[in-house]
Each structure stands twice: as C-alpha cells, then as structure tokens.
Amino acid sequence: MSKQARVVVLGCGTSTGVPAIGCLEPVCLSEDTKNKRLRPSILIENGGSNLLVDTGPDLRQQALTHGLRRVDAVIYTHYHADHTNGIDDLRVFNFLMKKPIPCYAYPDSATVLRRNFSYIFGNENHYTGFRPKLTLEEVNDESFEAAGLKIQPLDLEHGGNRVMGIRIGDFAYATDCSSIPEDSMSILRGVRVLIIDALRHREHPSHLTIEQAMEIVDELKPKETYFTHTNYELEYHETNRNLPSGVEMAYDGLTLGINL
C-alpha cells in the first residue's frame, strides 16, 4: 500500500473571490455555500506536516476555518496578488512553530516576491513591526522536497507568465493556466486526481475555459477532476449537471485523499 496524504481546497475562487465586491449577479447573491469561493489555495496534509500552496488574501480566514496550526512549507505557484497577498499572516505560524518557513517558487516569481515583499525578504531595517520569517528558495524543473513530500513541478502557460503546476504522487494541481505545454502534459499523464483552472465558459487570455479544460481532461483521463479558479458566471449545481461523470466543480473545503 502506498502512503496517503490529504488535499484540502482552501479556496477555489477567481482573483476577486465569489461573491466579488459590489457584484449583483445571481451567483454572487446566492446564499448557497457552494457558491462562496475564497481566493485559490490548497493545503496538503502529510502525516503531521502541512504544505500550503499559495497565500492569497483570504489566508487568515482559511486558516481559522480549518483550524490550521502549522505550516511546514509554502509553494508559490506564481506572484499574482490573489496567490500571494496573505503572506503577512504566515508570521502567526512562526509564533506557533518557533522557526522560519521555507517557501519555494520559480525564479521569475521569486524576483517579484522579493520586490513586492521587500520588508520580508530584504534588509529593511527601518521596518519595526513583526514580520514573517521566511526563506525563499528558487526551484526549476527538478523535483524537490517540501513538508516531507516529493514535488514534481511542471510549467503552465498563464497569459505570458510561467506558473508552477505541481504533481505529487497520483495528484496534480494546475491553477492559473491558459494552456499546458507538451512537456508538462507528459508529467501529468497517469494522474488520478486533478485540480485544474476553468474560469468560465467565455474565452480569457490567461485562463482556461470549461471547454478548454475538458479537452485536457479528455486527454489525461483522470479518475477525478475538479475545476478551480471559477468565477461568478459558474453556478455550482447548474455547472455540475452539465459536466460528465468524474468531473465536477471544486468547492471550498473539498477534501481529497491522494496516494504518494
């Protein structure tokens, strides 16, 4: 029997979250919890260790909802604000764990993270508040270890940005992509559980549509696929009714077992 880990979807909404501020569309006004989506992030629980993928603006709320008390490592898929702007809340885990947290990113994302959060990653002696203690390690195509897990990175094309998808055992997470290069498709082959970007039905320059994501699903044929980074145009139940079996919308709090 292979070892198992648990994936928790902390947020599966697009950059504005759902509901978006000021939005009067039906899904934004819906009281169904399945239509309430925080900014995109997942947690992977590996025994007693926790790997956090992205720290969006909703990190505090996500951590409180799930009773999160430790973060052993963070992977940044890319530098966009909806994936990074909760970074300051990592400091509570420094308090709780009394040690720095290793973070991993592709070099181009790491450069922007260092610039955007120079009070964390730079030497800003004038900053007197308590700041997170993080190390930032650049990774590339080679697999690496984080929170006791073997991570295989894979490139995703995101409207001109290079986003890190990850494969761990029979699971893969591919948020924020407009297409998936052939080398990355090779890494994804044989995946059993896939979480993939599917923003909406209408085309978008930096995100897959439901239809484009389905083309990838048809090629990879995972046993279970969940759509993430979804916007207000996708009502949870209505969208699910039109998806084939084995493919469904993710929702905040969705929990999945994976084999390492």
- State which residue, 36 or 80, has the beta carbon closest to Zn ion: 80
Distance CA 28, CA 112 (A): 32
- The residue among 76 and 93 lying less far from Zn ion, judged by its C-beta, is 76
Q: What angle do CA 60, 62, 67 make, to 5 degrees?
A: 95
Name which position in 82, 89, 235, 252 contacts Zn ion (CB under 5 A).
82
* Contacts of 86 by beta carbon, 8 Å cutoff, 6+ apart: 39, 55, 56, 57, 58, 59, 60
How many residues sit in the footprint of Zn ion (CB under 5 A)?
3
> Residue 58 or 176: which CB sits closer to Zn ion?
176
* Ranges within 132-151 binding Zn ion (CB under 5 A): none
What token pair was written down for 178? 């407009």
Where do the DSSP E strands lie in 160-249?
161-168, 171-174, 193-197, 224-228, 247-249
Determine the interface stretch with Zn ion among 3-11, 42-50, 75-83, 184-192 (rule: CB under 5 A): 75-83
Residue with Cβ nearer Zn ion (80 or 200): 80
CB of 240 to Zn ion, least distance (A): 22
Candidates 55-63, 74-82, 101-109, 234-242: pick the segment binding Zn ion (CB under 5 A).
74-82
CB nearest Zn ion: which residue? 80
Q: How many CB atoms lie within 10 A of CB 20?
A: 17
Say whether residue 155 binds Zn ion (CB under 5 A): no
Options 29-37, 42-50, 55-63, 169-177: segment touching Zn ion (CB under 5 A): 169-177
Residue 80 Cβ vs Zn ion, minimum distance, rounded to whole Å? 4
- Shortest reach from residue 15's CB to Zn ion, in Å: 5
* Cα–Cα distance measured from residue 130 to residue 163, given in angstroms and rounded to the nearest whole number: 30
Output the smallest distance, CB 168 to Zn ion, in A: 20
For Zn ion, which is the closer residue by CB, 112 or 220? 112
Are the beta carbons of 89 and 117 closer than 8 angstroms?
no
63/71 Cα distance (integer angstroms): 10
Q: Which of residues 170-209 bind Zn ion (CB under 5 A)?
A: 176
Which tokens hold the place of 208? Answer: 């897959």
CA–CA dist 81, 27 (Å, integer)? 23
Sheet holding 101-105, edge to edge: 134-138, 101-105, 73-75, 49-53, 41-46, 4-11, 255-259
- In the complex with Zn ion, the residue whose CB is nearer, 153 or 169, is 153
Q: Smallest distance from the beta carbon of 179 to Zn ion, in angstroms?
A: 14
Kindly state the smallest distance separating residue 17's Cβ from Zn ion, in Å.
11
First to last CA, the chain: 10
Q: From the list 55, 57, 68, 80, which residue makes contact with Zn ion (rule: CB under 5 A)?
A: 80
Q: Give 82 or 252: the residue with its C-beta nearer to Zn ion.
A: 82
State how far the Cα of 214 lies from the Cα of 92, in Å rounded to an integer: 39
User: Which positions touch Zn ion (CB under 5 A)?
Assistant: 80, 82, 176
